[in-house]
Amino acid sequence: MVPQAACRVNEMPKVSVVIPTYNRAHLIGETIRSVLDQTYRDFEVIVIDDGSTDNTCDIVSAFSVRYHQQVNLGAPAARNKGIELSSGEYVAFLDSDDVLLRRALERGIFILDSYPEAGFSYGQAYLVDEKGRIVGLKKSSFLDRSCIVDGKELVKETLSTYRATLSAVMVRRSCLDKVGGFKEVMQNFAEDLDLIVRLAKRYSAAYIAEPLVNYRVHPGSVSRNVDPKAAERAYHLILKEIFEDAAISPYFEPWRSRAYSNYYRIIASYAYGKDMKLVRHYLGKALVVRPGSLLHKEGLSTAFIYAKSFLPRRFRLGLRHIKSHLVCSHQHVTE
C-alpha cells in the first residue's frame, strides 16, 4: 500500500515539503516515501518536475502528493515554484536524491515552535554513497549540541569550513517571504548557501545536533559536476552579500581574506583532475589574498597542491596510492 500524506486537500498544513527534481526517476520514489513515513503527520508534499525526460511522472503519480511540471529552468526556479504553490506555516526543502530520517520534520517543527525568535532550523546530515552506505557525517564544526545560534555566527562558520545541508533546513514562511526566495541567476550552484546567508543576516537559527537526512554523494549529484567559473560567480555574489552590506560588514571584515582564500581553494577542488592550469589559477588567488596562510598548515597544504598540479597525472595518482597505503598501514599498526 502506498503511504498517504496526512493533511487533507484545502486544509492548511503545518509544513510544506518542496522537492525539486530533474531526471531522478530511479531515486525520487525513495525520497517521497521518506516524507510520507515521517512521525510528524501534518504536512504537504509538493514535487516540482523541472522538465524531466525520464519516467519521473509515472513514479510520482503513484503517490498522494502535489505534482507540478514545468520546462527546465533550474533548481532555484523549481524551488521558487514550490514555495509559490505551498501553504504551510513552515517550508522544508528536500532534494530528490536525498532521504529524510523519520523524525526530521518532528525535530524541526518542535524547535521552531519552541523558539519563535529563530527564523529557521538546520541539522546534521549523513553522507551516503550510491549503495546507501553511510560514509561520513556533515555537522557543525563550531557546535556540539542543539542550541539557538546568532545568525552572524552561522555566517562566520559558513565563511570558514561549514555549509548547512539544504535538505536538513526548515524555514518560517514569514521569514522566507521577507528575504525572498532563491536567486535564479545562480542557476544550479550555491543558491542554497546564498539563501541561508540572507536568512542568517536577519534571523537567529536553531541548530539541531543530530542527523536529519541521508545526503547522497554520487556521480550524478550537482556537487560532483561543478563548473569552476560558475562557482566563482556564485561565491562572488554570496561574499558580496556579506562584505558589501554596511550593516554587518564591519563585524566580518577580519574574516575577509580568509573567506576569499577558502572559497578560491574550494573552486580549485572542482577543477582538480580536469584542468590543472585552472587549479593553479585559483590556488594562486587563494595564496595572494591571504599570503600569511603560508605560515599555517592550510597555506602549506595549498602550496603543496599547487606544486603537485605540475606533475603528470600518473605521478599524482601514484602519490595518492602511496598516501592511501600509508594510512592503511598506520591503522593496521594501531589496531
In this structure, are 35 and 46 located in the same domain? yes
Residue 47 lies in a domain: yes
Q: Are 201 and 303 in the same domain?
A: no
Of 168, 201, 223, which marks where a domain is finished? 223
Give me the residues of the chain with pLDDT under 50, please: 1-10, 322-335
171 and 36 fall within a common domain: yes
Beta bridge partners of 205: 120, 149
144 and 271 assigned to the same domain: no
Whether residue 91 is found in the same domain as residue 189: yes
Please say whether the beta carbons of 35 and 43 come within 8 A. Answer: yes
In contact, 94 and 100? CB cutoff 8 Å: yes
Cβ neighbors of 249 (< 8 A, separation 6 or more) are 242, 243
Number of domains in the chain: 2
Going by the DSSP 8-state scheme, the letter that residue 293 receives in this structure is G
Cα–Cα distance measured from residue 22 to residue 57, given in angstroms and rounded to the nearest whole number = 11
* 113 found inside a domain: yes
pLDDT score recorded for residue 295: 81
pLDDT reported for residue 335 = 39
Same domain as 195, residue 88: yes
pLDDT at 315: 63
Instruction: Provide the residue range defining the domain that includes 284.
Output: 226-315
* Helices and strands (H and E) in the chain: how many: 13, 10
Q: What is the pLDDT of residue 178?
A: 96
Do residues 118 and 202 both lie within one domain? yes
Q: Where are the alpha helices (DSSP H) in 62-221?
A: 75-85, 104-114, 151-160, 173-179, 191-202
Q: Is residue 84 part of a domain?
A: yes
Q: Which residue has the cell 505534482?
A: 67
- Measure Cα distances from 314 to 271, 273, 302 in Å: 17, 11, 20
pLDDT of residue 226: 85
